């Protein structure tokens, strides 16, 4: 079931899915309204005469004008979107293009204009004006006018959205909010097994057979359907020991891990286990927290490149990564052990921990920050704040290690004594 939900979430994130749904609804709406116009004779007296069309020529003129305008604006919207994607790619990196494509407003705007154009064409085709029979779908035309008004308002909102979406601070804040939500989900996934202590080696010795499981395809491991996989292993009275976590790039035939069983499994049974793993050509954020961290780091690294030379954007990324790591320091990461309903160990995974997240967040930024005092000093400030939020010895040691590397970088690359003194004053809380 979780695998189906994963596929569904990927489908909703595509750029074409929402527009296609809106287009389908517009076709259905046109059929319903034309049928309604055929059943109801709307009076055109009183105030209604100002809104309802009386002649077929006027009806055709209105629908032709709206449809022509909508398809023209749809082309403009598409062009503006491409320009925004080009700017985002050059400024923030091509991996962030998907963030702009997945913005729901962009999908709704494109679908709205195309569907209004198609709706007007269908209503236009239903107009009849002959000696024997005349039919003017007044209600349908009124809805077309209202849709045109709504699309004008939507265009203004869209332009505002595009103007703000390519701002560095806005992009970084969106990624930070997304990471915060993923961290909360990681914490929720931990469940009741987070404090469970188990002798995994002792459990593994209880199985008679151990078979290697290999990657069925080239690409990134995107998702592990842990619930369905656990059920399959429970039915086969087996245990799966994985050597990779979601986000790892695998090669066809590379060993994924070990399958421990009580009886000899054939190839077909092993293939069923692999079906609970989802592979793809790119990483996703569903189960890979590092993916979103990499997006933030990429923005900072590009900002520190000599061609862009934008330390302010890098500092903004560091500030948001600092908030993220402070949040991570307070959560319990999901256990590496997955149990079935009968409390038997079924999966041993490779978990992400605080140290790994910290290294992912700051290693590359530190490496590219050489010779930029403002960024190095801000890195030390961030580590000092994170250090105050850490609770375990392992967490504190991980932060100290990063602080030592940042301090050595500052000593080797900062030439101004006052800047170096600022760095030392901020490192005092961690290193002394």
- Same domain assignment for residues 186 and 315: yes
> Is the pLDDT at 113 greater than 60, yes or no?
yes
Q: What is the CATH number of the domain that holds 255?
A: 3.90.1170.30
Question: Which range marks the domain in which residue 26 is found?
Answer: 14-166
- Same domain assignment for residues 58 and 193: no
Residue 214 forms part of a structural domain: yes
Residue 4 forms part of a structural domain: no
DSSP codes joined into one string, 375-399: HHHHHHHHHHHHHHH--SHHHHHHH
Element (H, E) at 93: none
Residue 234 forms part of a structural domain: yes
How do residues 181-190 score in pLDDT, each as one tens digit? 878 776 655 5
Residue 207 burial (CB < 10 Å; 0-12/13-18/19+)? middle
- Same domain assignment for residues 132 and 241: no
Residue 8 forms part of a structural domain: no
How do residues 132-158 score in pLDDT, each as one tens digit? 777 888 889 999 999 999 999 999 998
- Same domain assignment for residues 59 and 95: yes
Q: Are 316 and 169 in contact (CB under 8 A)?
A: yes
Q: How far are the Cα atoms of 109, 198, 277 from residue 4, in angstroms, in the given order?
A: 28, 31, 12
Q: What is the mean pLDDT of residues 219-223?
A: 89
Give the model's confidence band at 45: pLDDT under 50 very low, under 70 low, under 90 confident, else very high: low
Q: pTM of the entire structure?
A: 0.78
- Same domain assignment for residues 314 and 255: yes
pLDDT at residue number 353? 87
Q: Are 170 and 276 in contact (CB under 8 A)?
A: no
Give the E-state strand segments of 109-162 in sequence order. 128-129, 134-135
Final residue in a domain of this structure, among 299, 317, 352: 352
> Is the pLDDT at 194 greater than 50, yes or no?
no
Number of domains the chain is built from: 3
Higher pLDDT, 411 or 92: 411
- Same domain assignment for residues 408 and 287: no
**Whole-angstrom distance, CA of residue 205 vs CA of residue 30:** 67
**Whole-angstrom distance, CA of residue 237 vs CA of residue 232:** 8
Average pLDDT, the chain: 85
- Same domain assignment for residues 66 and 142: yes
How do residues 327-342 score in pLDDT, each as one tens digit? 999 888 777 888 888 8
pLDDT at residue number 46? 56
- Same domain assignment for residues 215 and 124: no
- Same domain assignment for residues 218 and 335: yes
- Same domain assignment for residues 117 and 182: no
Q: What is the mean pLDDT of residues 306-316?
A: 88
- Same domain assignment for residues 405 and 291: no
> Is the pLDDT at 120 greater than 90, yes or no?
yes
Q: Are 220 and 283 in contact (CB under 8 A)?
A: yes
**Whole-angstrom distance, CA of residue 349 vs CA of residue 354:** 16
């Amino acid at each position: 079931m979780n695998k189906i939900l994963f596929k569904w979430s990927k489908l909703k994130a595509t750029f074409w899915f929402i527009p296609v749904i809106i287009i389908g609804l517009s076709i259905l709406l046109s059929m319903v309204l034309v049928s309604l116009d055929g059943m109801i004779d709307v009076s055109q007296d009183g105030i209604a005469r100002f809104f309802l069309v009386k002649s077929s020529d006027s009806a055709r003129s209105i629908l032709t004008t709206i449809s022509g305008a909508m398809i023209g604006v749809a082309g403009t919207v598409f062009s503006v979107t491409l320009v925004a994607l080009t700017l985002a790619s050059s400024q923030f990196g091509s991996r962030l293009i998907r963030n702009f494509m997945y913005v729901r407003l962009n999908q709704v705007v494109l679908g709205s204009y195309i569907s209004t154009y198609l709706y007007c064409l269908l209503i236009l085709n239903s107009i009849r004006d002959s000696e024997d029979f005349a039919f003017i779908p007044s209600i349908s035309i009124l809805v077309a006018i209202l849709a045109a008004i709504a699309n004008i308002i939507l265009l203004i909102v869209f332009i505002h959205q595009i103007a703000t979406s390519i701002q560095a601070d806005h992009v970084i804040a969106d990624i930070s909010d997304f990471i915060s939500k993923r961290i909360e989900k990681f914490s929720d996934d931990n469940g009741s097994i987070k404090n469970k202590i188990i002798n995994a080696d002792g459990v593994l010795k209880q199985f008679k057979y151990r078979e290697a499981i290999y990657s069925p395809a080239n690409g990134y491991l995107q998702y592990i359907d842990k619930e369905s996989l656990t059920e399959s292993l429970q039915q086969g009275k087996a245990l799966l020991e994985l050597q990779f976590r979601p986000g790892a790039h695998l090669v066809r035939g590379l060993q994924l891990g070990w399958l421990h069983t009580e009886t000899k499994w054939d190839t077909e049974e092993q293939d069923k286990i692999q079906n609970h793993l989802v592979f793809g050509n790119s990483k996703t954020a569903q189960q890979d927290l590092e993916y979103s961290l990499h997006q933030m780091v990429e923005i900072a690294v590009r900002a520190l490149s000599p061609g862009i030379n934008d330390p302010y954007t890098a500092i903004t990324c560091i500030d948001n990564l600092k908030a993220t790591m402070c949040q991570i320091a307070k959560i319990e990461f999901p256990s590496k052990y997955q149990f079935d309903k009968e409390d038997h160990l079924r999966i041993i995974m490779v978990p992400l921990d605080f140290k790994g997240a910290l290294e992912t967040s700051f290693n590359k930024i530190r490496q590219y920050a050489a010779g930029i005092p403002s960024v190095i000093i801000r890195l030390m400030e961030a580590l000092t704040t994170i250090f105050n939020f850490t609770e375990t010895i392992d967490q504190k040691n991980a932060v100290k290690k990063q602080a030592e590397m940042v301090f050595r970088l500052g000593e080797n690359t900062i030439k101004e004594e006052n800047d170096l003194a600022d760095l030392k004053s901020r490192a005092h809380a961690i290193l002394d």
